[in-house]
Amino acid sequence: MGYVAIKGGGQAISGAEKLLEFIRTRQGETGEPLDIETIENQLYFLHSRIMSEGGLFHPKLASLAIKQSMGDTLEASFALRAYRSTKPRLIESPILDTSNMRVTRRISASFKDIPGGQMLGASTDYALRLMRTELLDESPDAFKSIAGKWLDENRYDEIPDTFPKVLDALRDEGLLPPVNEAISEQKPFDITREPLVFPVPRSAALSTMARSETGSILALAYSNMRGYGDIHPTVAELRVGYLPVMLPHPITGELIEAGEVLMTECEVVAMYEDEENGDKPSFSLGYGACFGHNEVKAISMSILDRALQSGMKNGPTNPSEDPEFVLLHIDGIDSMGFCTHYKMPHYVTFQSDMDRLRTTQEKHTNKHEEASQKGADNV
Amino acid sequence: MFNQTFSADTQFRKASAEYNFGFLDEYAKKEVRRSVLKAIAIPGYQVPYSSREMPMGRGFGTGGLQLTLSLIGKKDTLKVIDQGSDDSVNAVNLRSFIEMTCPGIDTTTKVSEATLIQSRHRIPERELREDQILVLQVPYPDALVVVEPSEDKRKIMHGEADYSRLLVKLYEDIVKFNEITISHRYPTRINGHYVIDPSPIPRWDVPKLNNSKSLILLGAGREKKIYAVPPYTLAEPLEFDDIPFRVESFNDSTGKRRTCWRCGCDHSFLDEFIDAQTGDKRYQCSDSDYCDEQIKSQVNNQELEG
Amino acid sequence: MLKQDLLGAHIKAIWLAETQQALFNSLMQVMSRPGRLDNWEQWLENSPAYLAVLATLLDGEVSLNDVHGLLTESDWPMLQAKKSEVELANYLLCDASKMVHIQPSLGTLSSPDFSATLILKVAQLSVKQGSMNLKLTGPGINGEAQVAVSGMEQAWLENRNGWCSAFPLGIDCILVDDTQIMALPRTTRVEILEAVHNGENN
Ligand SMILES: [Zn+2]
């Protein structure tokens, strides 16, 4: 039987929790609790972001995390990540081929015509950011009719499920180096099971970036875009869609489709470099991918991937090329946790700080008194 | 599970049904345990581990917590301290999380009753025994970070036991201030090789690391490191011949040792605070259990004498 | 959920999470205090002690080399460890009564934890006298400790002392007899005392 020691400060904690819960429900009788489906669909981009930063593709729990954290992205991803971290790794998928992705959007900035064609899909890229005041008071009926109407009017079933990859075409032309089979056979680094000990393989960098906080990775990638680096990327292909996840059958080992995950993938082509080993010069590549629909994150990641490859090869010449600097500062859960911890009591260390300051001050005063004494003696 | 309403202060309790004993899955515990053995075998070396996300913030003791959860069993009695007190908010929070996820364990505020002690910023005043284990929460595990930001380079310096730059830093302090200004997290050399950051304990607690009867484990969750000071192992704060290492002074301006206003103790680390009514400065034992114990023994003595 | 839980009620104690918690605590104490002997008899149910050590520490994330073939084929799936060459293995299981020429991983200067842990099976560990008496000093030992080991080739200790001569590089040893365990981390200075003839000092 467990004996419980004390309950003192616990009251404060429970009080704080109750207040938070009050804030969540303070609409009172006019309010409706957010339902999980609504969050997944109407807060689509937020939901995507939480799954990717939480590092767990679990649409239902991601919605719950958003709900219980009242929309705080850091807190929501944190809850999802903490849940994930209690789960053992039971089975591993082989490397999944994204050309099998059921694409909902794909664009290329490098060619006007790409094999299979451009497909703009759902995007805010060309939207006018005007306030849509008609949504202030949206009627449920109007809301409900929109999706049905769209489905009636669009012949979406004519769109092929999969598209060839732009990079394959570039590779066929010899503009990109051939796929390095030796690397693709290496077992990818699992950041949930192994700590990062630098230097780390590229797979460790990629998976760290895939879970990174969107704003943080954007900031570091932006530093590279602005001039603390010179990747000069071109988006060869950005695609959003559902990727089938293949898992080996636990008994037969045969690959079976376990489901699909919504993903954003970005491949950038960057300027070529001199090949020291005398190989034919070719463009270089940066790769980004994350759960959910989050294009800014995927593009930022692909740029940093390219920058980090440079840094790993030639030594970093700016922060965005330094694997330690980038990979240890982009995790939202780590950084927000540490930022928050400064609110905890630091009485003991502060006492110790005061002791040092007082001793130093005393010595300073003594020295000055001595000096002025000496000065007086010399007169 | 999604339609349940969680009453505010029982979120964890409801959720805990879905979690393993000790919250972490057994594989996560094994990894921590393997790292602990390595940490003991290489005293002071920071063993990297994958460090799972815990349901509280990085920086709130998740490294210590992962150690505790990987070590604790139903026969253990746990004490959790923050700033020397069992009753501070963070200590309460960690303790109730452990109670919740480890049904069957006992908790205590008395050092003497505990088998496992998790602490932030203090080592108990009372000397620990061989059968006790102290787990310290660590925000910054690497003492070299003040002179070298790159971990890759720091690892080489540690391997070679090359602490010359750190010593230069200390020496510059002396030139500038005529005093080593490091107040807490005092760099301490373990077994003559690795220099550790002993966590933000005050200098007062550093001598307790030396030749300790109990095993001391240090866990940094965010920085993903575990290290150890094994029992009966040399732990020396860095110092110079002419400027020795000194613990905090609690003497008043006349050189008299201040005492705890509660228990009268003249040999413990004191918290300083300002009396709200009188505006006077007051001093009180930082280690609340030790303070209570002193009061109790005085009462007992009086009873015996009376 | 763990594999061992899925396999039902007939599972031996050493595979259960609760036992492994207790065994690990013992292992941690013996690693912290070289020379200390712990008896695991109550947990073993006829399983060899070395198997209990492996069950406590290993899973699919680490590699093992069974140098002398002490394990049975059915132990491997329970341990989940990857099979690996001696030079690369995280853990080596050896019969200390047989000497072999091996080179375990000693780690690197930056990462001395990339080193092997050796589990050495001996005939008998004792705090009294045995065929080989050792004086231990170093971290974890209050002054000095003495232990006696029987059924261990002296060359193992000589090799061990060589592998551990350039701290922080080295290997850590866990010695087991039928029911007892003891550890020699790389920091322990091991001195082989003059063999004492039977009958003396009793
Ligand atoms: Zn007191």
User: Does residue B271 fall inside a structural domain?
Assistant: yes
Q: Is residue B267 part of a domain?
A: yes
User: Other CB atoms closer than 10 Å to residue B93's CB: what's the count?
Assistant: 21
Whether residues C111 and A88 touch (CB distance < 8 A) is answered with: no
Residues on A contacting C at a C-beta cutoff of 8 Å:
88, 193-194, 197
Chain B within 8 Å of A23 (Cβ-Cβ)? no
pLDDT attached to residue B124: 97
pLDDT for the residue C7: 46
Q: Is residue C8 part of a domain?
A: no
* Inter-chain touch B232–C141, beta carbons under 8 Å: yes
Check pLDDT > 80 for residue C117: yes
C11 CA to middle of ligand 1, Å? 52
Kindly state whether residue B67 falls inside one of the protein's structural domains. yes
User: What is chain B's Cα-based Rg?
Assistant: 21
> Residue B159 belongs to a domain with what CATH number?
3.40.50.11310
Please check whether residues B165 and B256 belong to one and the same domain: no
Write out pLDDT tens, residues A123-170: 888 888 889 899 999 999 999 899 888 888 887 777 787 888 888 888
Q: Does residue B82 share a domain with residue B58? A: yes
- The answer on B194 and B64 residing in a single domain is yes
Query: pLDDT tens digit string along B86-137?
Result: 988 889 889 999 999 999 999 999 999 999 999 999 999 999 999 999 999 9
B48/A359 Cβ within 8 A: no
Contact assignment for B25 to A88 by CB distance below 8 Å? yes
Which candidate from A10, A81, A351 shows the least CB-CB separation from B202?
A351
Give the Cα separation of B57 and A75 in Å (integer). 9
pLDDT value for A168: 87
Mean pLDDT value across residues A210-216? 98
- Which of the other chains make 3 or more beta carbon contacts under 8 angstroms with chain A? B, C
Task: Assign B6 a pLDDT band (cuts: 50, 70, 90).
Answer: very low
Asked if residue B230 belongs to a domain, the reply is yes
- Both B153 and B267 in one domain: the answer is no
Residue A6 has pLDDT above 50, yes or no: no
Spot the catalytic one: B22, B63, B265, B285. Answer: B285
Per-residue pLDDT tens digits for B236-279? 999 988 888 989 999 998 999 999 999 999 999 999 888 778 88
The pLDDT-based confidence of A376 (bands split at 50, 70, 90) is low
Residues B215 and B288 in one domain: no
Strand-pairing partners, residue A286, are: A268
B102 is catalytic: no
Are B121 and B48 part of one and the same domain? yes
Q: Flag whether B44 is in a domain.
A: yes
Q: Tell me the pLDDT tens digit for each residue of B95-108.
A: 999 999 999 999 99
pLDDT at A342 over 50: yes
B26, B130, B228 member nearest C2 (Cβ): B26
What is the rounded distance in angstroms from the CA atom of residue A194 to the CA atom of residue A234? 33
More confident residue, B238 or A186: B238
Domains in chain B: how many in total?
A: 2
Residue A53 pLDDT > 90: yes
Task: For chain A, say whether C1 makes contact (Cβ under 8 Å).
Answer: yes
In this prediction, residue B8 has a pLDDT band, given cuts at 50, 70 and 90, of very low
Under the banding of pLDDT at 50, 70 and 90, the label for residue C99 is confident
Amino acid sitting at position B171? Y
Whole-number percent of chain B with pLDDT over 90 = 71
Cα-to-centroid distance, B1 and ligand 1 (Å): 48
Answer whether residue C77 is part of any domain: yes
* Exposure string over A147-179, b if 16+ CB within 10 A, otherwise e: eeeeeeeeeeeeeeeebebbbebbbeeebbbee
In which band, very low, low, confident or very high, does the pLDDT at A277 lie, cut at 50, 70 and 90? low
Q: Considering the entire predicted model, what is its pTM?
A: 0.84
- Residues 293-352 in A contacting B (C-alpha not used; CB under 8 Å): 324, 328, 333-342, 344-349, 351-352
Residue A278 has pLDDT above 70, yes or no: no
What are the tens digits of pLDDT across the range A215-252? 999 999 999 998 888 778 899 999 999 999 999 987 88
Q: Please indicate if any CB of chain A lies within 8 Å of the CB of C198.
A: no
Residue A7: what pLDDT?
A: 42
pLDDT tens digits for B192-214? Answer: 999 999 999 999 999 999 999 99
pLDDT at A8 over 80: no
Chain B residues near residue A7 by CB distance under 8 angstroms:
92
Residue C143's CATH number: 3.40.50.11310
pLDDT at residue C9, rounded to an integer: 53
Instruction: Please say if the pLDDT value at position B11 is more than 50.
Output: no
B180 lies in the same domain as B296: no
- Say what the pLDDT of residue A377 is: 66
Q: Are residues B188 and B269 in the same domain?
A: no
Nearest residue to C58 (alpha-carbon basis) of C2, C109, C8: C2
One domain for residues B135 and B46: yes
- Assess contact for C81 and C63: CB atoms under 8 A: yes
CB contact under 8 A, B45 and C140: no
Task: Confirm whether C201 is domain-assigned.
Answer: no
Share of chain B above pLDDT 70, in %: 93
Range of the domain at C116: 13-195
Residue C196: band (very low, low, confident or very high) from pLDDT cuts 50, 70, 90: low
Both tokens assigned to A43: 């807060």
Predicted-assembly ipTM surpassing the 0.90 threshold: yes
Length of chain A (residues): 379
Q: What's the mean pLDDT in A174-202? A: 86
Q: Answer yes or no: do A348 and B86 touch at CB < 8 A.
A: no
How many beta-carbon pairs below 8 A join chains B and C? 109
How much is the pLDDT for C155?
A: 94
Number of domains in chain C: 1
Is C166 part of a structural domain of the chain? Answer: yes
- Per-residue pLDDT for A299 more than 60? yes
Look at residue C119 and tell me if it is in a domain.
Answer: yes
Please state the domain extents for chain A.
10-85, 98-126+161-337
B202 and B275 both lie in a single domain? no
- pLDDT(B235) > 90: yes
**Residues 6+ positions from A195 with CB-CB distance below 8 Å:** B48, B49, B50, B51, B224, B225
> Chains A, C: CB contacts under 8 A, how many?
5
Of A36-40, A227-231, B148-152, C116-120, which range is least confident? A227-231
Q: Is residue B48 part of a domain?
A: yes
Cβ-based neighbour number of residue C2 at 10 Å: 18
Same domain for B224 and B265, yes or no, is no
In a domain, C87, yes or no: yes
Quote the pLDDT of residue B5.
Answer: 33
| Partners of residue A262 on adjacent β-strands | A242
pLDDT band at B68; cut points 50, 70, 90: very high
Q: pLDDT per residue over C127-149, tens digit each?
A: 887 789 999 999 999 999 999 99
Instruction: Report the pLDDT averaged over residues B160-189.
Output: 89
pLDDT > 70: what percent of chain C? 91
What local confidence, expressed as pLDDT, does residue C195 receive? 60
CA distance C78 to B133: 30
| Same domain? B126 vs B69 | yes
Q: Which residue in C1, C2, C61 is closest to A193 by CB distance? A: C61
Contact partners, residue B221, CB within 8 Å, separation at least 6 = B51, B54, B58, B61, B62, B63, B64, B65, B66
Judged against a pLDDT cut of 60, whether residue A35 lies above it is answered with yes
Which residues from chain C sit within 8 angstroms of residue A197, using beta carbons?
Answer: 111
- Out of B186, B204, B237, pick the residue that ends a domain: B237
Tokens of A187: 């077992």
Q: Which of B178, B208, B237 is the last residue of a domain?
A: B237
Q: What is the pLDDT at residue A72?
A: 97
Q: What is the mean pLDDT of residues A171-199?
A: 85
B144 has pLDDT over 70? yes
Print the domain residue range for B270: 250-306
Chain mean pLDDT for chain B = 90
pLDDT in tens, C155-169: 999 999 999 999 999
- Which two tokens mark B273? 């605070």
pLDDT of residue C1 exceeding 60: no
Tell me the CB-side half-sphere exposure of residue B245, using CA atoms within 13 A: 20
The sign of the torsion formed by the CA atoms of B258, B261, B266, B268 equals negative
**C113 neighbors C87 (Cβ within 8 angstroms):** no
